[in-house]
Amino acid sequence: MAVRTPSKRIVDDIAQVVYTSEEIRGVIARLGAEISRDYAGLDPVLVGVLNGVVILMADLLRQITIPVTVDFMAISSYGDSAGKGTVRITKDLDHSITGRHVLFVEDVIDTGLTLDYLLRTLRTRQPASLKVCVLFDRPYRRLIDVPLDYRGLELPDRFVVGYGLDADGYYRNLPFVGTLHPKLMPHPVTERG
User: What would the CATH number be for the domain defined by 22-155?
Assistant: 3.40.50.2020
- Whether 110 is catalytic: yes
Q: What is the pLDDT of residue 5?
A: 79
- The active-site residue, picked from 13, 107, 110, 137, is 110
pLDDT at 173 over 90: yes
Cα→Cα distances 167→22, 33, 59, 186, Å: 22, 31, 21, 7
Q: Comparing 51-55, 87-91, 185-189, which segment has the lowest mean pLDDT?
A: 185-189
Q: Comparing 72-76, 84-88, 97-101, which segment has the lowest mean pLDDT?
A: 84-88
133-144: pLDDT as tens digits: 999 999 999 999
E strand spans, the chain: 14-19, 45-50, 69-79, 85-91, 101-109, 129-137, 150-154, 160-161, 177-180
Per the confidence metrics, is the pTM higher than 0.85? yes
Reported confidence tier of residue 1, pLDDT bands at 50, 70, 90: very low
Average pLDDT for residues 22-36, to the nearest whole number?
98
102-142: pLDDT as tens digits: 999 999 999 999 999 999 999 999 999 999 999 999 999 99
Task: Indicate the average pLDDT of the chain.
Answer: 92
Q: What is the pLDDT of residue 77?
A: 77
Percent of the chain with pLDDT over 70: 90
Nearest CA to 102 out of 82, 75, 72 is that of: 72
